[in-house]
Amino acid sequence: MEYNLSVNDREKTIRIETDKENSFSTELDAAKLHVNYKRIDDYTLRLEIDNGKTKKGVSVHLVDSEGGKTIFINGVTYAVKNRDNLPVGTIRKQVSTNLPDKITPPMPATVISVLVNKNDLVQKGDGIVVISAMKMETTLTAPFNGRVISLNTSRGEKVMPGDILVDIEEEE
């Protein structure tokens, strides 16, 4: 069986051999590995990973997320995506930038101030709108160089994720 996965946007193709129940073998980063696995509960797996020299047991916690699973190991979360299930181009787009390409709040928020005017030229990273949510203020910044073509919000307005607060037209 073959999996086309990506972890934190690095792509990997992994071939596995399932020999007996609850175990598989694979080669990953030039190491031959044998994995025994067991489900503890809906969100917890126990893995025993044998690289031929040492055996290591590890508990991982995971939950389904967009395009794959979010996996918690040793205090760190890893976003593993299944590339076979994603529309072409989705991965590429996420590799290119961590920033959203729209001026929209990540959660319900209140607009504290709008820092730009219509027709302003902005540079990538410039502050565009200051919002407040859960007692914290955050500045939404320009995702690219461009020109402000419309302001769709004003001070004091309650806004939701997906609301485009300011439209910016990309300019080189």
Partner 1 sequence: MFGKILIANRGEIAVRVMKTCNEMDIPTVAVYSDADKDALHTLSADESFYLGASEPSESYLNIGKILTAAKQTNADAIHPGYGFLAENADFARECNRRGITFIGPPPDVISSLGDKTTARKIMREGRVPVIPGTTDAAKDLESIINEGDAIGWPVLIKASAGGGGKGMRIVPSREAMEDAFIAASREAASAFGDDSIYLEKLITRARHVEFQILCDSFGNAIHLLERECSIQRRHQKIIEETPSVSLTPELRDRMGSAAVRAAKASGYVNAGTVEFLLEPDGNFYFLEINTRLQVEHPITEMITGIDLVKKQIEIAAGMPLSIKQPDIAGKGHAIECRVYGEDPEHSFFPSAGKIQFLKEPTGPGIRCDSGVCTGFTVPVEYDPILAKLTAHAETRQDAINRMVKALSGFPVLGIKTNIHFLMDILTSGSFHSGQTYTDVIESEFSDWSPEKGRSETDERTALLAFIADDLLPKHKMAASTEDKPPEPWQTLGNWRIS
Site size for partner 1, by CB under 8 A? 53
86 lies in the site for partner 1, by CB under 8 A: no
How far apart are CB 47 and partner 1 at their closest, in Å?
6
Q: Which is nearer to partner 1, 61 or 102 (CB)?
A: 61
| Secondary structure E strands in 2-75 | 2-7, 10-17, 23-28, 31-41, 44-50, 55-65, 68-73
Binding mask 138-157 for partner 1 (x = CB under 8 A): xx------------------
Contact pick of 17, 27, 32, 43 for partner 1 (by CB under 8 A): 43
Beta strand 146-151 with 158-159 is unpaired
Q: Which residues of 50-74 are buried (b: 16+ CB within 10 A; e: fewer)?
A: eeeeeeeeeebebeeeebbbebeee
What is the closest distance, in whole angstroms, from the C-beta atom of residue 105 to partner 1 in the complex?
9
